[in-house]
A and B are shown apart, each in its own frame.
Chain A
């Protein structure tokens, strides 16, 4: 099931606005993650410059952009990341919260520009993403 092109345009626009207003979103996204999942903080003990967190977040954005367009690899990447993160003691239920958390930050940065269309596009896309997070078995999905 591909993302509706209108939803894809809307999500891209919301990301552009967030990028323009928030700059590098690494600090705000991970601060929120650690606030809600404090046990995740110690996994990043080496990351004193935020380089690891920054690249992970960039990969999340790359995956979202591929997912809403061509879907060349993002859906499969998400499924495999659930598996590899479990190896780092990141349970699937924690992994599952990350896309929603990114969407929250994007919404806040959009402020008064956040539209009902954006809310709907993100809601549909998050539900679609969740399908892959919840079902890492590629043979089944």
Chain B
């Protein structure tokens, strides 16, 4: 039983229950930061599953909170477009960013923000690298590197799991997928953090610094593009984009959008699930004991963590026409947010959804990767990394002990951890 969530939920439940529905803004970031979001989504699923927030820091938007309604939106790309961005954007932050960056970056331009028919061929240009066949080739290298990371960890001394393990493993894997200079791999999670955070959060100190980091990132990837486009086709993501007929002539803005997508998508989601698994197992020692006793439970534990953590809390779309959903009319042009984090706790679809249970009957029944044409293209890479790291952890350490409160992200989009203090005890 997750005690922390229950206590916090009880503390805020009265406040949430007293808020008029039309004033309820489920994307209020401080609730994500303080882990007090759960009563909001429980109330919406119960009382107003397709909910309209008329005014917010993101402008007006619809929230879809039940599993089947989310499925209906996510699979209907004809009625719900991704072209104007897939996350809720804070309007003040967008305006500030535009001032510094000198251009409109809302939505980006990678294949995740494309609709059909442009989307399919662009996605297909990268999907072979991330498909099961190629992962089989990559797996031994990921395992070797995971082992190196774990063997370098301090024993008996507190350290930040996010920094030394979660970021490092995803940086190594991403560097391999991009064939990015390995000694510079930590730039990848750093760029991801710079892209996803606002000043005052994560490593971002100012809009200027953020702009410079993005400029540095795009320059580095332009260099990679130029190297790969002039070389023989290879099996890395940049070479595939540079040589595939569907993407080789894409505008530079589209390439940049794809870079952002692959860095952020490959980074934040996996690393926050790695951190989330350590935290959830510590909060649920009976489940940790089950896992230690039976390593065959690693695979279902990974899936359960992906559901329980939901590393990307939402995705959003814009209605291309008037659509009826759950008895409400969503008008053409209105923004719709699919709260995966709520769908994953839908009591009608998942038994005891607020509990972390690693041997569920249907452990893979979650919507964290989304559904439809934009379903996470890297989902198998994520699962492979998580499975391998836990196989290697259990070979080495009987326990990873969380010794302090984690710091959560300041975000209603990336649902994860800034830091997680742990100790690996000496073996007695």
Contacts and interface: CB of A to CB of B under 8 A. Distances in A.
Contacts of A87: 123-124, 127-128, 131, 377
A51 B123 contact: no
Interface residues of A, number: 26
Contacts, number: 82
A37 interface: no
Contacts of B116: 137-139
Contacts of B76: 73, 76, 138
Nearest to A78: B75
Binding site of A, secondary structure by majority: helix, strand, loop or mixed? Answer: helix
A28 interface: no
Contacts of A73: 68, 71-72, 75-76, 371
A86 interface: yes
Contacts of A58: 362, 365
Interface string B342-369: 0000000000000000000011110000
Contacts of A45: 132, 136
A47 B300 CA distance: 11
Interface in B65-80: 68, 71-72, 75-78
Contacts of B133: 42-43, 89
A83 B75 CA distance: 11
Contacts of B78: 138-139
Contact of A77 (B75, B123, B296, B384): B75
Interface string A65-104: 0000000110011011001101111000000000000000
Interface in A49-73: 49, 51-52, 54-55, 58, 72-73
Contact of B384 (A43, A46, A88): A46
B124 A44 contact: no
A83 B300 contact: no
B113 interface: no
B372 interface: yes
A121 B168 CA distance: 54
A43 to B, nearest CB: 5
A28 to B, nearest CB: 19
Contact of A51 (B124, B135, B303, B384): B303
Contacts of B68: 72-73
Nearest to B128: A89
Given A45-B136, A83-B120, A77 B127 contact: no
Given A73-B75, A79-B75, A87-B128, 19 more contacts: A43-B132, A46-B132, A46-B136, A46-B383, A46-B384, A51-B303, A51-B363, A51-B364, A58-B362, A58-B365, A72-B68, A73-B71, A77-B71, A77-B371, A80-B373, A80-B375, A87-B127, A87-B131, A138-B76
8 contacts: A43-B131, A49-B296, A72-B68, A73-B371, A77-B75, A83-B373, A88-B132, A139-B116
Q: Which 10 A-B pairs have the closest CB atoms?
A: A87-B127, A138-B78, A55-B364, A76-B75, A73-B71, A80-B372, A77-B75, A73-B72, A43-B132, A76-B76
